[in-house]
Amino acid sequence: MNFFGTAAVVLSVVAFAVTYHWLRPRSIAVRSCCLCGFGLLAIPSIWFAAYYLHILREHAWFYTLRSWPGSEFLVVFLGCAGGAAAALLPRLLLGLPLFAVLLPGVTPYIKPLMAPLPDPIFKESWRGDVCLQSTPSTCGPASVTTILRRLGVDTTEHAIARAAFSYAGGTEAWYLARYVRSRGLSAQFDFRDTFSPAAGLPALVGVRLGGLGHFIAVLDLHDDQITIADPLRGEEHLSLTEFQHRYVFTGFHMVIRRGPPH
């Protein structure tokens, strides 16, 4: 269970109730000003939920913000905004702003609860120095496991998948970044039009296979030869041209390096 996410949703409901009861006896002007202020502060949490509609362009700053431990609690401002909105409405309509708080508040955390991965499914299978994914949805944890082992960090696909709240539909990259930083390494996001070694290596790179999202580890580049670790295939050495022809790139890079977390 995502403790921060659960606590944040509970606190957003508390914030809704406290704000509503505090503002209800105030003037309409005060209630309106508070709604505007809390509404601005609630924009990040609304953006967090809107991400799952897949209509917004992905940005490094968004992933970076989501990767900060405790960013879940930004939804508390949404609770305050909902309470301020409720204070302007008749009591019979109280449920509408409360629903408007709960829907985006719960959305980022509901999928792992609906489609969890059981522990026995993880096989910890390796092909040489490459961790192979145990499930269709743990390409991210497996790829990060390969990179971390290469950087001298002992870990497993199962440990990373659990820390990153992996579920049957996939793994969210900001939780992978949190795990990387918790092990004393740095993780930085970079979005480009296509794959670019200029973003830095080793890196977790997003690609598409048959229209579905997939993560691979790009380990090194020497001259025109690139070393990759695909959790479906193992380690391969390809020319940069061959690599770019094989995969359709999403532009996502998460660069992992030794050194203090960023």
Both tokens of residue 229? 């670790």
Q: Which of 89, 114, 139 is the last residue in one of the domains?
A: 114
Q: Do residues 214 and 179 both lie within one domain? A: yes
pLDDT at 262 over 60: no
Say if residue 73 is in the same domain as residue 93: yes
| 123 and 110 in a common domain | no
Of the chain, the percentage scoring pLDDT greater than 70 comes to 99
Element containing residue 190 per DSSP (H, E): strand 185-191
In this structure, the answer to whether residues 64 and 181 fall within a common structural domain is no
| Domain shared by 131 and 252, yes or no | yes
Burial 59-89 (b: 16+ CB within 10 A, else e): ebebbbbbbeeebbbbbbbbbbbbbbbbbee
pLDDT, residue 230, reads 98
> Which of 84, 114, 144 is at the close of a domain?
114
Q: What is the mean pLDDT of residues 169-173?
A: 95
Residue after which a domain boundary falls, among 70, 87, 114: 114
Residue 232 shares a structural domain with residue 211: yes
**Is residue 98 located within the same domain as residue 40?**
yes
The pLDDT of 234-243, averaged and rounded, is: 95
Predicted local confidence at residue 108, as pLDDT: 86
Question: Global pTM?
Answer: 0.93
Distance, in Å, from the CA atom of 116 to the CA atom of 166, rounded to the nearest integer, reads 7
In the chain, how many domains are there? 2
pLDDT at 249 over 70: yes
Instruction: Check whether residue 135 and residue 245 sit in a common domain.
Output: yes
- Is residue 148 over pLDDT 60? yes
Which pLDDT score is estimated for 247? 94
184 and 123 belong to one structural domain: yes
Using a 10 angstrom Cβ sphere, with 0-12 exposed, 13-18 middle and 19 or more buried, the burial of residue 91 is exposed
Q: Is residue 52 very low, low, confident or very high in pLDDT (cuts 50, 70, 90)?
A: confident
CA distances from 119 to 135, 157, 173, 179 (A): 11, 11, 20, 19
Residue 193, classified by CB atoms within 10 Å of its CB into exposed (0-12), middle (13-18) or buried (19+), is exposed
Range 61-72 average pLDDT = 96
pLDDT value of residue 1: 75
Of 262 and 95, the one with more pLDDT: 95
pLDDT computed for residue 217 by the predictor: 99
> Residue 98's pLDDT is what?
96
Looking at the structure, tell me whether residues 165 and 248 fall in a common domain. Answer: yes
Mean pLDDT of 66-87: 97
Residues 169-184 have a mean pLDDT of: 97
What pLDDT does 111 receive? 83
Q: What residues does 214 pair with on adjacent strands?
A: 207
- Higher pLDDT pick, 105 / 83: 83
Residue 54 lies in domain: 3-114
Q: What is the CATH number of the domain that holds 162?
A: 3.90.70.10
Is residue 106 located within the same domain as residue 125? no
| Dihedral (CA of 156, 162, 163, 164) sign | positive
Give yes or no for a contact between 33 and 88, defined as CB atoms under 8 angstroms apart: no
Both 157 and 180 in one domain: the answer is: yes
Separation of alpha carbons 256 and 189, rounded Å = 9
Pairing of strands 125-127, 234-239: unpaired
Bridge-based pairing state of the strands 185-191 and 248-258: antiparallel
